[in-house]
Amino acid sequence: MATLEIVQVGDPVLRMQARELSPREIASSELQELFGHMRDTMRAAPGVGLAAPQIGASIQLVVIEDPAEFHQGYTPEQLAARERTPVDYHVLINPRLTIENAEPVEHFEGCLSFATFHMVVPRARGVRVEALDEHGRPFTRRAVGWYARILQHEIDHLHGVVCCDRMDPRTLATPTNYTRFYGGKTVAEVLAIVGPKPVG
């Protein structure tokens, strides 16, 4: 399989409403091959999710995987605070997301299309997603915590939304500054450092 170029913020494709895929398109050899290319691109980046608009294709297609090896370096307490557990590789086509637990949870996120930056983004704690798999079969997944965050992040891309649209702008940081100032701190500690949001 080949890896694909990941487009960056400023490319209009990231601001488009992606179109749904038909059963005939899903069964095509071209799309079946694209699944593999997107999986390999996500893994090579590396990332935990990739939406088709991020590789320049304005279609409703997402691949997700959060393997256990990505959790190394986090303490059990940090993983518990994020409600983060391994997620096997899977494909979502024409996904529909429903918020099931609207409790806002704030954590740092990154984005392969906003390369190298980190930012605090509030997300709903629990969601349900109805989608088609790579064979066009319908399925439903429920998720809480980090997996719910990944689903919201990637499905946002299908609707022209990038995580920087939802971020707390005071927390935007380069990797060097993220490590220097915020690494190992809780979000509450980070927000205490950056101070209150401006009024007005």
Cα atoms found within 13 Å of the Cα of residue 179, Cβ hemisphere only: 3
Is residue 99 within 8 A of residue 137, CB to CB? The reply is no
Q: 6 pLDDT exceeds 70?
A: yes
pLDDT of residue 106: 96
Q: 200 pLDDT exceeds 80?
A: no
CA distance from start to end of the chain = 50
Distances in Å between the alpha carbon of 27 and those of 41, 132, 147? Answer: 21, 12, 27
Domains of the chain in sequence order? 12-192 (3.90.45.10)
Tokens in use for 28?
Answer: 């095509």
pTM of the model: 0.95
Tokens in use for 59?
Answer: 């279609």
Q: 135 pLDDT exceeds 70?
A: yes
Q: 199 pLDDT exceeds 80?
A: no
pLDDT of residue 198: 79
pLDDT of residue 32: 95
pLDDT tens figures, 147-193: 999 999 999 999 999 999 999 999 999 999 999 999 888 999 999 99
Phi and psi dihedrals of 133, rounded to 5? -85, -175
Q: 1 pLDDT exceeds 80?
A: no
pLDDT tens figures, 111-126: 999 988 999 999 999 9
pLDDT of residue 147: 98
Please state the rounded mean pLDDT for residues 117-137. 97
Average pLDDT, the chain: 95
Whole-number Å distance between alpha carbons of 121 and 25: 34
Question: Sorting pLDDT into bands at 50, 70 and 90, what band is 197?
Answer: confident
pLDDT of residue 191: 92
- Active-site residues: which are they? 154
pLDDT of residue 2: 82
